[in-house]
Amino acid sequence: MVILQANKIYKTYGNKFNKQEVLKGIDLQVDKGEFVGIMGASGSGKTTLLNVLSSIDRVSQGTIEIEGKEFTGMKEKQLAEFRKHHLGFIFQEYNLLDTLTVKENVLLPLSITGISKKEAHQRFAQVAGELGIAELQNKYPAEISGGQKQRTSAARAFVHEPSIIFADEPTGALDSKSASDLLNKLSDMNRGRQATIVMVTHDPVAASYCSRVVFIRDGQIYTQLNKGDEPRQSFFNDIIKTQGVLGGVQSWT
């Protein structure tokens, strides 16, 4: 089942005298339960792609559908409503509210949906158990480690069971141990909950946890790699190779 369908999306910045095309006609399809990685060098447009896919930024041209709902033409208010129900976010900088405890941060997306208190506590117990943050629930973000923060952030993304979760360099600020820990948890959740995740990263190790990796260069899809039944190690090697071609020495002559 198709969760996300993006057709010929363009994104340009600036005015008509000084135009900068960041996305140049990208087509992307994500099925339910997929864990898709988006890779590319700095300035390749991968974060812009994530922003437009997640409705935070608007496309200049093209259409995006999530679960069959087209949202590029929606008004600001409708977009907020849409994000509330269909999208979950994990950011590089955790983006937790400092003044809220771990539990309060996680339950934040539920409070807008008007779910009952009892159900909210059940959901928290479940997602916190899966991500191993149950003991931290009354701590403030300033009191826990980066890895714990990112797992909290992940829990917040999963708790309202969105159609799709967008992760922007989730491991960018973590040490390698916390990073692999988080990625393991993410892929567990991906398999266990049939959750759909789209993750932007420039780290090949992180990308190797995905089931599919999309490479972007200069605002266009350069190539895609499918993991299939390969072990993670060999998928990692494939990614490194592709990245080498993608970002490697170009023939200038």
Partner 1 sequence: MDLNYIVYRNLKKNIKNYYLYVFALIFSVALYFSFVTLQFDPSMDEVAGSVKGGAAIGTSSILLVAIVAIFLLYANTIFIKRRSKEIGLFQLIGLTKGKIFRLLSAENLMLYFGSMVAGIAAGFAMSRLILMILFKILEIDAMAELRFSSEALVRTIIVFAAIYVLIMLMNYTFIKGQSILSLFKVNVTTQTQIRKMPLWEIVLGILGIAFVGGGYYISTQLFSGKYTEMSELMRAMITILALVIIGTYLFYKGSVSFLFNAIRKSKQGYLSINEVLSLSSIMFRMKSNALLLTIITTVSALAIGLLSLSYISYYSAEATAKESSPDDFGFARVEAKEKFVQALDAQNIKYKEIHMKPIMMEVDASGIMDNSAFKSPDDRLLLTAVLSEKDFSGMDLQPDETTIVGYGGALQQFMSLSETGEVIFDTLNGKVSLQVQGNSSEAVLPYYYGGGGAIFVVDESRYQGFVQAQNPKVQRGEGKREYYGIELADRSQRAEANEIFLELKPEQPSFSQYEVELEQRSNMGLIMFIVGFLGLTFLITSGCILYFKQMDEGEEEKDGYTILRKLGFTQGDLLRGVQFKQLFNFGIPLIIGLCHSYFAVKSGWFFFGTEMLTPMILVMLLYTVLYSIFGFLSVLYYKRVIKASL
Among 137, 196, 208, 211, binds partner 1 (CB under 8 A): 137
Please say which residue, 16 or 117, places its beta carbon nearer to partner 1: 117
Answer for which of 21, 25, 56, 193 binds partner 1 (CB under 8 A) is 56
3-state secondary structure of 75: coil
In 36-170, alpha helices (H): 46-53, 76-86, 102-113, 117-131, 146-159
Comparing CA positions, the residue from 93, 49, 36, 47 lying closest to residue 207 is 36
Query: Site for partner 1 (CB under 8 A): which residue of 8, 19, 69, 84?
Result: 84
Give the dihedral sign, CA 125/128/133/137.
negative
Chain centroid to CA 96: 16
Contact 49, 216 (CB under 8 A): yes
Residues 86, 67: Cα–Cα separation, whole Å: 8
Question: Which residue in the set 7, 60, 95, 180 belongs to the binding site for partner 1 (CB under 8 A)?
Answer: 95
Q: Kindly state whether residue 103 participates in binding partner 1, applying the rule CB under 8 A.
A: yes
Q: Which is nearer to partner 1, 19 or 121 (CB)?
A: 121
Smallest distance, partner 1 to C-beta of residue 63, A: 21
**Rounded least distance, CB 31 to partner 1, Å:** 24
Binding of residue 50 to partner 1 (CB under 8 A) = no
Binding of partner 1 by 161 (CB under 8 A): no
Tokens of 202: 């420039």
Q: For partner 1, which is the closer residue by CB, 140 or 236?
A: 140
Strand ranges in the chain using DSSP code E only, listed in sequence order: 2-13, 20-31, 35-39, 61-66, 69-70, 87-90, 164-168, 197-200, 212-217, 220-226
Among 16, 42, 142, 252, binds partner 1 (CB under 8 A): 142
Q: Which of 155, 151, 102, 154 lies closest to 126, judged by CA?
A: 155
69 near partner 1, rule: CB under 8 A: no
Residue 224 in contact with partner 1, rule: CB under 8 A: no
| Residue 99 is a binding residue for partner 1 (CB under 8 A) | yes
Q: Report DSSP state, residue 29.
A: E
Q: Which stretch binds partner 1 (CB under 8 A): 12-20, 141-149, 203-211, 241-249?
A: 141-149
Decide: is 97 part of the binding site for partner 1 (CB under 8 A): yes
Q: For residue 66, with 0-12 CB atoms within 10 Å meaning exposed, 13-18 middle and 19 or more buried, which class applies? A: buried
Q: Considering the rule CB under 8 A, would residue 158 count as an interface residue with partner 1?
A: no
Stretch that binds partner 1, among 14-22, 101-109, 216-224, 228-236 (CB under 8 A): 101-109
Residues lying near partner 1 in the complex (CB under 8 A) = 54, 56, 76-77, 80-85, 87, 89, 95-101, 103-104, 106-112, 117, 120-121, 124, 137-143, 156
